[in-house]
Structure 1
Amino acid sequence: MSEQSRNISDEQSPRRLVSSTTDYEGRIWDVVSETFRLDDDGDPITRDFIRHPGAVAILVLDDQDRVLLLRQYRHPVRMDLWEIPAGLLDQEGEEFVDAAARELAEEADITASQWHVLIDLFLSPGSSSEALRVYLARGIGEVPAADRHERTHEEAEITLAWVELDAAVSAVLEGRIHSPSAAAAILAARVARDNDFIDLRPAMSPWPEHPSQHGSWPRGAVIED
């Protein structure tokens, strides 16, 4: 690997914030308008974006080299999408991997004994602060019937399917799977598997890119220049 390749890494880049206001407060996320300067002498720039609590997703891989996919209706795109289990980080103080285990149990009635970080993403960094951590879950078990979560609304229509990893890769490359978390996770899992999973990070690895780890401006904050 070249020296340049080893040095490729996203990094924090705080800029001078002039103002931050909340234009819309939603049930899950807000739309905020922030004005900032790229440097002290630069002109003010204003950007509107979604302030998001972040999320976790899970690529489940069983001992037959199959991944768990679920089909769910997504109203903004008016489509049933094949996805991987995922959920919001909306419970204060919950560890990221614990949130992933909870979402896996709630959406798929599945438990796992082996957890690793598979990939970290910003799903739409030009318009949203949403940070997503995808875990690889192995050592699969089932949630007892008496303890299973009652799914409602769109989740009530969830359909589960176990798909061979190589077949899932083909579905991504042929344009049959459109979920960004599923596509990225499936391709990453293929690479990780072919490398015997040796490059994966422990489940409790730091996640400094998540907004909770570097602070964020509160709703309605205004910072004077």
Structure 2
Amino acid sequence: MSAGAQDAGGTPADVVAPRPVVAHERVAAGRIFDLVRDVVDLGGGEQVTREYLDHPGAVAVVALDDDGRVLLLRQYRHPVRAELWEVPAGLLDVEGEPAQAAAARELHEEADLAADRWDVLVDFATSPGATNEALRVFLARGLRPVPEAERHTRTEEEAGIEARWVALEDAVALVLSGALHNPSAVVGVLAAHAARAGGWASLRSADAPWPYRRGTLPA
């Protein structure tokens, strides 16, 4: 194991350790993300070419009510040709917007809910060999409905969203049985269950550092 792969106590921990980019080009531009190609200097005279999706990043919300139920939303996802049960989520596509504010916006728009308490539940890279997408999952509690006059008008795939409240332990069983596949839901549900079992001691503040968010990583 390389020296940078663990902290002083010997516990494995990811570290930001960019290699020099010798050349960079945009291969194809998309509506949400681009396909880019980098020539990367790995050191020792070795260079490699890597193509990946340059993604703005995203946030997701495990909304947990006072009865210990998590909100799941059913939405059609065309790339996998499936209707998936998910947690509220969305892109970080507003320049400079704090991640928690984006999460609150998505909870409002997709679920007609607001929350009084926000914590960071877990962070992950969705597919680090293929995209730089970073995703932060928040835990939202102290839920309350958005007034009818302030609710968002949902369009496209979001217009058909179906909502269902599921006990957190039942949601875990759905994940482990293979009934749920959306990565934000899978990671978020399991993380929430583990965090609750630990008395919520693992939760981080809503503005906790997030070094893997695009724009934070070194070029």
Q: What's the TM-score, normalizing by structure 1? A: 0.92
State the AA in 1 paired with 2:168: L
Mapped partners of 1:173, 1:187: distance in 2: 9
1:138 maps onto 2:135 in alignment: no
Task: Report how far residue 152 of structure 1 moved.
Answer: 0.3
1:210 maps onto 2:219 in alignment: no
Task: Point out 4+ residue stretches in structure 1 off by more than 3 angstroms.
Answer: 3-6
Select 1:24's aligned residue among 24, 28, 31: 28
Q: Secondary structure at the match of 2:215?
A: helix
1:183 maps onto 2:190 in alignment: no
1:20-65: CA deviations, max 9, x gaps?
Answer: 00000111110001111111x3322001100000000000010100
1:73-132: CA deviations, max 9, x gaps?
Answer: 000000000000000000012111000000100000010000000000100101000000
Q: Secondary structure at the match of 2:212?
A: coil
Mapped partners of 1:5, 1:143: distance in 2: 46
1:55 maps onto 2:58 in alignment: yes
Mapped partners of 1:112, 1:42: distance in 2: 52
Select 1:36's aligned residue among 25, 31, 40: 40
Identical residues among aligned pairs (%): 51
Report the number of matched residues: 213
Which residue of 2 is the match for residue 156 of structure 1?
159
State the AA in 2 paired with 1:151: R
Task: Report how far residue 14 of structure 1 moved.
Answer: 1.2
Which residue of 2 is the match for residue 113 of structure 1?
116
Mapped partners of 1:184, 1:166: distance in 2: 14
1:75 maps onto 2:103 in alignment: no
Which residue of 2 is the match for residue 66 of structure 1?
69
Q: Secondary structure at the match of 2:46?
A: coil
Task: Report how far residue 8 of structure 1 moved.
Answer: 1.2
Q: Secondary structure at the match of 1:211?
A: coil
Higher relative contact order (CA 8 A, sep 6+): 1
Structure 1 unaligned spans of 5+: 217-225
Q: Secondary structure at the match of 1:212?
A: coil
